[in-house]
């Protein structure tokens, strides 16, 4: 049979997983997906993910590719895999892509959303799915601060230690803060993200909101290239990989 390169689109709640990538002595999304692929395709196939999400981080869209000589039709693949996946992971599309397609390196841009529950009262339904901030947030002020992230910058000050990349320059095409009732959302799109970059962006905005950092400080933090100048790293539970863009029409 001819070898095909298949691209999967999936969603997952990351609460029960130690991130995407396979780890020893820890349950991960990649391992769980590979178990399902093995059950359907009869072999433990290498799977390439579009990102390396951390423990507790969620994805409304996550893309993976793998190669198989199986003739199973693409439209049947999501149904077959979902029959072997737990309820917190769901495949919703499959397509054949060129042989040189790589879920991570072929990516044009990614969009993340960070969900903040802005209330002094605990919401049991938000536990593990949002970060609670009890003091009032001025979303309009935070939106103005976030505009400093736009453009091409060296984001070394917004990268946690432990990342493997040497080039810390990224281009942010969109950054916004908006409110929906008691929920404040930070959305950011870029051609790539550094280790903990979005969570440090959010932590910096929250430190500005609390007065720990002054308004207008983000350009100086970027210029410093110094991680210690930026804010705290926000918790992972509020972070969602929202969408992944390639140079072909995306699956809605």
Q: Which residues are catalytic?
A: 54
DSSP β-ladder status, 58-68 and 239-245: parallel
Q: Taking the alpha carbons of 96, 98, 103, 107 in that order, is the dihedral positive or negative?
A: negative
Confirm if 115 and 199 have CB atoms less than 8 A apart: no
**Bridge-partner residues for 96, per DSSP?**
6
DSSP β-ladder status, 183-190 and 169-180: antiparallel
The rounded Cα 125 to chain-centroid distance in angstroms is: 21
Q: Which of 68, 49, 64 is nearest to 5 (CA)?
A: 68
Tokens of residue 215, six digits: 């308004």
Length of the chain: 252
Cα(143)–Cα(133) distance, integer angstroms: 17
């Amino acid at each position: 049979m001819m070898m095909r390169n298949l691209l999967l689109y999936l969603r997952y709640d990351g609460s029960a997983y130690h991130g995407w990538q396979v780890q020893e002595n820890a349950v991960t999304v990649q391992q769980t997906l590979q178990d399902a692929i093995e059950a359907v395709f009869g072999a433990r196939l290498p799977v390439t993910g579009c990102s390396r999400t951390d423990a507790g981080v969620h994805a409304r869209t996550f893309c993976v590719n793998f190669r198989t000589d199986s003739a199973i039709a693409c439209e049947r693949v999501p149904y077959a895999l979902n029959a072997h996946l737990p309820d917190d992971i769901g495949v919703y599309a499959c397509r054949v892509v060129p042989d040189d397609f790589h879920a991570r390196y072929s990516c044009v841009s990614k969009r993340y959303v960070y969900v903040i529950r802005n209330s002094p009262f605990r919401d049991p339904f938000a536990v593990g799915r949002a970060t609670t901030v009890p003091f009032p947030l001025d979303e309009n002020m935070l939106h103005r601060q976030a505009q400093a992230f736009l453009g091409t910058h060296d984001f070394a000050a917004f990268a946690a230690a432990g990342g493997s990349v040497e080039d810390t320059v990224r281009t942010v095409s969109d950054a916004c803060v908006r409110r929906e009732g008691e929920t404040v959302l930070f959305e950011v799109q870029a051609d790539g993200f550094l280790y903990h970059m979005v969570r440090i962006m959010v932590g910096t905005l929250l430190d500005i909101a609390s007065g720990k950092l002054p308004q207008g400080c983000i350009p100086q933090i970027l210029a410093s290239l110094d991680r210690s100048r930026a804010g705290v790293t926000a918790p992972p539970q509020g972070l969602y990989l929202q969408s992944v863009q390639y140079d072909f029409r995306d699956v809605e």
